[in-house]
A and B are shown apart, each in its own frame.
Chain A
Amino acid sequence: MKAVSIPSGTNLTALYRELVGDYPKFFKMDTLSKLGFLLTEMLLQGTEGRFTPREDRAVLVFSRNGSLANDINYAKRMEDFPSPALFVYTLPNIVAGEISIRNKYEGETSAYVLENYDRQLIESIVREAFQDRITRDAIVAWIDCRSDSEWTAQAWIETK
């Protein structure tokens, strides 16, 4: 099983330029979404038939801190004129939405928050997600973004 990760503190803009370069929406994403976007690029680049709309692949994102890093960014700007875009990223599932938009995944997307990185529990939840009658595989990611410079980020694909 192919698995990818992005070390904490990596320069994400540089990584984006190296891997993609032509998806300007990247720059409005929060760190959590940037990490999810880049992890899936690392997983999927060169895959045959990529970007063809499909309903049979789920995107399941796990973490301990959810959108907390961006919640803090938003709370700091609340008193002034916060941008609507910044608020939307204060939800842990937006990263799954960004991955879906990029890859045209029209299947199940969900975000789970767990007390810690518990591979066994994650595997059970992924297996349970395969009860969906159409889902055949899933992009699974543990992206725990503690701040804009400190995170654990890894992703892999699981098949039913």
Chain B
Amino acid sequence: MTKVYCIGEGLYTPLGSTVDTVLEAVREGKSARLFDRSGYSGASFFEHIALEASRNALKGIEITPGTGFVLSTTKGNVEHIGKEDISLAASAARIAGALGIKTKPIVVSNACISGIAALLQGVRMIRSGEYDKVIVTGAEVHSDFIHSGFDCLKALSPEPCRPFDKDREGLNLGEAAAAIVLSSCHSEPSSCHSEPSSCHSERSEESFEISDGVIRNDANHISGPSRTGEGSYKCLRYVMENVRKEDIAFISVHGTATPYNDEMESVALYRAGLSDVPINALKGNFGHTLGAAGILEAIVSMAALEKGIVLPTKGFHEMGVTYPVNVSALERPASGKLIIKLLSGFGGVNGAMVFRKGGAQ
């Protein structure tokens, strides 16, 4: 099967706009969930941050007629509801147009797993052979609409969130944009114009491969996670078919810090036989960035593995889930060559994706 590589990564977050800056901020235990919007006067902050992250990911990469575009978001321009056309399709078309994309944009809006679902869509588009590159951009901005919804669900923590901690009280909402450019070639631009096998470049050493990905439904409840972690467990079981446990450097869990989510993930990891594998959660740094979360957390995790580290889980102090899990409270060295990213969301959806370090088999 065609191998699919991450050939460009771009961020636009309240913690910084380059992968290095953001990685260092997370290592230092910093947290920033909302943008300072002073100085911005455009029509759509959502589209603005999506574009910024996309452009950062596309540095040095050429848009070809066969470049696809997938947008991951839950609510897009919802802050402007009642005032203008807030359809996600219209946003995607404007972003794609501004980037110079010629193919038809696709929006994946699959609740909190949108990021993994959109990356999986991008991977499949490359494997179909109909696209030579796909840019997958996830973005979410904070709004009264989203705040009100999570507030009435009683899912918001009054304090900074504490993933997997015994005193966790809920999640914090965040906003961010993140983008990954996918290709069957390791690299850009000139070295790669024909068969994937002829792609050779310096970057091939470091490009991560997305070697697998999956979505499964709990078929249980539209807003409550399964008590048996059914969908998340099935996702892990699926990706573990092609992963040796000792190769996993760490699992970047969803870790929203709601009592139910973290408990559910501990059940799923236990059932999958992964209780002793290092896990971490980044929601303490960024908050829950919804449609951006999967892509943002994947990029930061890949950068961490490149540096040979497992990032700390900000907010975690004392184990607060029933089943054993190996939470990284502090930064520690990583051994292994791949990362699994996990997400779960409303509608009973769960996702898992495998990011394999360049050159690793």
Interface residues, chain A, CB within 8 Å of chain B? Answer: 53, 55, 59, 64-66, 68, 71-72, 74-75, 78, 81-85, 87-88, 90-94, 96-98, 100-101, 103-116, 118, 121, 124-125, 127-129, 131-134
- Residue in contact with A84 in the complex, picked from B81, B152, B217, B219, CB distance below 8 Å: B152
The majority secondary structure among interface residues of chain B is: mixed
Nearest opposing residue in chain B for A108, CB measure: B215
On whether the beta carbons of A128 and B109 are closer than 8 Å, the reply is no
In the bound complex, CA of A104 to CA of B220 (Å): 8
- Are B219 and A93 in contact, CB atoms less than 8 angstroms apart? no
Beyond A94-B222, A97-B217, A124-B128: 4 further Cβ-contacts under 8 Å? Answer: A75-B82, A88-B223, A108-B214, A115-B104
B34 nearest CB across to chain A (Å): 20
| CB within 8 Å: A-B pair count | 163
B74 CB, nearest partner CB in chain A, Å: 6
Q: Indicate whether A71 sits within 8 Å of B234 (C-beta atoms), given known contacts A108-B216, A124-B130, A125-B121.
A: no
Q: Which of A71, A92, A107, A127 contacts B217 (CB 8 A)?
A: A107
**B104 contacts which chain A residues (CB < 8 A)?**
114-115, 118, 121
Stretch at the interface among B83-91, B200-208, B308-316: B83-91
Would you call A115 and B217 a contact (CB within 8 A)? no
B216–A107 CB distance below 8 A: yes
Q: Are B217 and A129 in contact (CB under 8 A)?
A: no
Residue of A nearest to B231 (CB): A106
Nearest residue in A to B112 (C-beta to C-beta)? A91
Scoring B152, B215, B222 by chain A CB atoms within 10 A of each residue's CB, the highest score goes to B222
- B87 A65 Cβ-Cβ under 8 A: yes
User: Chain B interface: which size bin?
Assistant: 35 or more
Q: How far is the CA of A114 from the CA of B108 in the complex (A)?
A: 9
Chain B: CB-nearest residue to A81: B152
Is there an interface contact between B93 and A133, defined as CB atoms closer than 8 Å? no
Known contacts A110-B108, A113-B87, A128-B128: does B149 contact A87 (CB below 8 Å)?
A: yes
Shortest C-beta distance, A92 to chain B (Å), equals 5
**Interface locus among B6-14, B294-302, B342-350:** B342-350
Shortest distance from the beta carbon of A19 to any chain B beta carbon, whole Å: 21
